[in-house]
Structure 1
Amino acid sequence: MEIGVNILGLEAHFDGKIRPVLDFAARADQVGVDLICTGDHIGFNGDAHAERVDEHGFAFPLDHPWYEPISLLSSIAAVTERSRLGVSVLIATVRPPALLAKQVATLDALSDGRVTMGFGVGWQEAEYTATNMPFDARFGRMEETVEACRELWTQAPANFQGRDFSFENYHSIPLSTQDRVPVLFGFAPSQRNFDRIARVADGWTVNPTDLPTFTDSVALLRTTFEAHGRDPQSVRIQVSAGPVRRDSGTIDLAATAEKAHDWSDRGASVVVFRPAVFDCAAEELPELLEWMISVKEM
């Protein structure tokens, strides 16, 4: 089992300052965390945000700072050496493929080939409107986005002809350091979405709302990979595990570790913890990191 750390929101432990989060990431890298990741939103329409909070329990207030993830991870690349770097779900389809490919290839170069990206399409039409990208048909456009990025990551000159994007004799340097940048899709579990993953991606980053059907979904995803001529055991599956709380509301770390191992036993490649929701003070974060690493050895 691999252990990941999601740094989203961690600046709140340091009076809103982001620099100590980089120090935390460096320490996580040193103690053996396998993946350091963050989240993504470009912005919010106020009414859409309020609706998301009311209807889906969206946990982030409107004034929560969403640092641009590739920029933030580039800073983290400079202070780490071994942990893989990624976004739990980057809203890829609000970014033109030529720009997205350049950002990811640059991060891969800065990190010496340590990038693993989670891509999704988001839920908020306002982000598409603000970036002048079409909201309709975004799921299908995700496949084309990844195909275009893979061409740009590996070929110079690159040539691509798609429904929405095309380029010819196009040079985008640097290429990715890795031969194949791992891309996971943050889609709901369905045959149609798993076919999309098997065609162009490398795995699945799981929305917490989809965990109740996790075991069956993993079996379906692996079967789908096999049907597409790909090794079913090569699928990378990323699960975010929140802390288990007692009836009193306090966190039960032993039960949380047991849950993490249960996800691993059922097919998760990496279990990701988000320290910001573990009810600890800034000075307790090193101890929490040590606990996270100990989970691998339990």
Structure 2
Amino acid sequence: MRRRVAVDGRARGHRRRLRTAVSLPPGRADPGQFQVRSPARPAGDHHVPRRRVRPPALRHSPVVLAKRAATIDRHSGGWLPLGLGIGWQKEEYAAVGVPYRDRGRRLGECVGAMRALWAGGPASYQGRHISFDGLRSLPGPESEVVPVVLGGDSDPAVRRAGRIGDGWFPYTIGPEDFSRQAGLLREAGRTEDAVEITVWTGSFDRARESDPSWVRGFTEAGATRLVIAPRIRGANGLSGPRGLAALRDQADRYRATVLEKLS
């Protein structure tokens, strides 16, 4: 059945919402690091900057990373989505003393261990690579959970996101490949709302980032959160005198010129 997206951000026939986010482009920061909610944002929210922390998970102890993420989440009032990936450089793994082999399993165990720690009380976890028993991690996150967003567009990465992720955020992927991998994501058999799908359409073709016909290929395949790159320089750029006000205007224009045309 053809999927249609309503202007108010709700996908017709689905309970999922279409949202936009703004991110700093490559060369300035990671595409997921600076984000704002629009159009579906909490009451009283005036496009508050939102950080998406995306460390290569296997370079960090899950115990230390769980505490850091929970601390940021609590200070931000529950606004932290934790993006994780396994990286690709063997040299990077060697530099930190972590085996490159079996990195997918290590990431899965990292996520499981952190969720055990976030649940409160003495936590225990037993895996092939990560084990602990009776461990307390304080402070805990605002609502006893930090959403975990997994990256990658290879088949193993997508299947992993479908099994254990709260979100999936691929990079430099076109609409045809995105549609195919979104279908693979759903083969995990979880409910449609279980994994929020984020995409930066401009990561594949920056010139078409604001082309509704291009963006539609992603939303009809299941994307419910869109990331766009902000204007940085000039009077109406993020580094200009208007600062975040200019960023807010850009997000609103994107909603008017792109999202409204997707209905």
DSSP 3-state at the match of 1:282: coil
Give TM-score, length-normalised by structure 1: 0.65
Q: Equivalent residues in 2 for 1:100-139 (5 A)?
A: 100-139=65-104
Tell me which amino acid in the other structure corresponds to 2:24.
I
DSSP 3-state at the match of 1:242: helix
**Aligned residues of 2:186 and 2:192 also touching (Cα < 8 A):** yes
Tell me which amino acid in the other structure corresponds to 2:113.
A
In the TM superposition, residue 150 of structure 1 has moved relative to its aligned partner by 0.4
> Would you say 1:97 and 2:52 are equivalent positions?
no
**Aligned residues of 2:208 and 2:214 also touching (Cα < 8 A):** no
The alignment yields a C-alpha RMSD, in angstroms, of 3.1
> Would you say 1:236 and 2:196 are equivalent positions?
yes
In the TM superposition, residue 210 of structure 1 has moved relative to its aligned partner by 6.1
In the TM superposition, residue 270 of structure 1 has moved relative to its aligned partner by 0.7
**C-alpha distance after superposition, 1:75-105 (max 9, x if no partner):** xxxx987565314x43111111011111111
Task: Give the number of equivalent residue pairs.
Answer: 225
In the TM superposition, residue 252 of structure 1 has moved relative to its aligned partner by 6.3
Listed as ranges, the gaps of 5+ residues in structure 1 are: 13-24, 36-78, 246-250
**Aligned residues of 1:82 and 1:114 also touching (Cα < 8 A):** no
Residue number in structure 2 paired with 1:198 = 162
**Aligned residues of 2:21 and 2:251 also touching (Cα < 8 A):** no
DSSP 3-state at the match of 1:159: strand
In the TM superposition, residue 149 of structure 1 has moved relative to its aligned partner by 0.6
Structure 2 distance, partners of 1:253, 1:188, is: 19
Residue number in structure 1 paired with 2:228 = 273
**Aligned residues of 2:19 and 2:38 also touching (Cα < 8 A):** no
> Would you say 1:296 and 2:259 are equivalent positions?
yes
Residue number in structure 2 paired with 1:223 = 187
> Would you say 1:259 and 2:214 are equivalent positions?
yes
**C-alpha distance after superposition, 1:152-187 (max 9, x if no partner):** 111221111211111222111011113432212212
Listed as ranges, the gaps of 5+ residues in structure 2 are: 1-17, 238-245
With over 3 angstroms needed to count, the CA separation of the structure-2 counterparts of 1:84 and 1:240, relative to structure 1, is: same
**Aligned residues of 1:121 and 1:142 also touching (Cα < 8 A):** yes
Tell me which amino acid in the other structure corresponds to 1:207.
Y
**Aligned residues of 2:210 and 2:254 also touching (Cα < 8 A):** no
With over 3 angstroms needed to count, the CA separation of the structure-2 counterparts of 1:141 and 1:115, relative to structure 1, is: same
DSSP 3-state at the match of 2:112: helix
> Would you say 1:163 and 2:128 are equivalent positions?
yes
**Aligned residues of 1:7 and 1:274 also touching (Cα < 8 A):** yes
Structure 2 distance, partners of 1:241, 1:11, is: 18
Runs of 4+ deviating beyond 6 Å: none
Tell me which amino acid in the other structure corresponds to 2:224.
S
Structure 2 distance, partners of 1:254, 1:202, is: 27
Residue number in structure 1 paired with 2:240 = none
With over 3 angstroms needed to count, the CA separation of the structure-2 counterparts of 1:122 and 1:34, relative to structure 1, is: farther
> Would you say 1:177 and 2:142 are equivalent positions?
yes
**C-alpha distance after superposition, 1:48-89 (max 9, x if no partner):** xxxxxxxxxxxxxxxxxxxxxxxxxxxxxxx987565314x4
Residue number in structure 2 paired with 1:7 = 24
With over 3 angstroms needed to count, the CA separation of the structure-2 counterparts of 1:34 and 1:183, relative to structure 1, is: farther
DSSP 3-state at the match of 1:196: helix
Identity %: 29
Residue number in structure 1 paired with 2:114 = 149
Tell me which amino acid in the other structure corresponds to 2:51.
L
DSSP 3-state at the match of 2:77: coil
DSSP 3-state at the match of 1:185: strand
With over 3 angstroms needed to count, the CA separation of the structure-2 counterparts of 1:107 and 1:269, relative to structure 1, is: same
Tell me which amino acid in the other structure corresponds to 1:283.
A
With over 3 angstroms needed to count, the CA separation of the structure-2 counterparts of 1:148 and 1:268, relative to structure 1, is: same
**Aligned residues of 2:22 and 2:227 also touching (Cα < 8 A):** yes
In the TM superposition, residue 206 of structure 1 has moved relative to its aligned partner by 1.1
In the TM superposition, residue 108 of structure 1 has moved relative to its aligned partner by 0.9
